[in-house]
Amino acid sequence: MRPVVFRGWDSYENKWQYGGFAEIVIEGQESDFLIIKDDMNTFKVDPDSIGQFAGISLNGVDVYEGDFIGDDELESEVTWCNIDQQFQFGMYGGASDIPCDAYVTGNFFEQERL
């Protein structure tokens, strides 16, 4: 069973935070989106940056929802499919179809910020 880990961009610390995820809703206010570390420290993150660990690593790099993975010929975004209830790896299909030379090339959130 894969660990359930989320990643979100912390604009204050200017880095990715990893851990559990919570949305804090207070009536009449904007929601806060938090990453919660194992030591219970919390970090407010950009809601557009949040992605869940997809359960695989490529060349030692964990793959998250919103990442782009590719090889010399192809690049695809990692997304969640509600119908199939599993992560999709774009043109590659399922995790078993990803070639062994594929790697994480970037992610949706950082590309949008450029």
Tell whether 1 is covered by a domain.
no
In this structure, are 55 and 109 located in the same domain?
Answer: yes
DSSP class per residue in 10-69: ETTTTEEEEEEEEEE--TTS--EEEEE-TT--EEE--GGG-EEEEEEEETTEEEETTEEE
In this structure, are 42 and 76 located in the same domain?
Answer: no
pLDDT in tens, 93-103: 778 888 888 99
In this structure, are 18 and 34 located in the same domain?
Answer: yes
Tell whether 22 is covered by a domain.
yes
* Global model pTM greater than 0.75: yes
pLDDT in tens, 13-39: 999 999 999 999 989 888 999 999 999
Residue 114 has pLDDT above 50, yes or no: no
Domain count, the chain: 2
In this structure, are 61 and 31 located in the same domain?
Answer: no
In this structure, are 56 and 42 located in the same domain?
Answer: no
Name the residue range of residue 44's domain.
Answer: 6-48
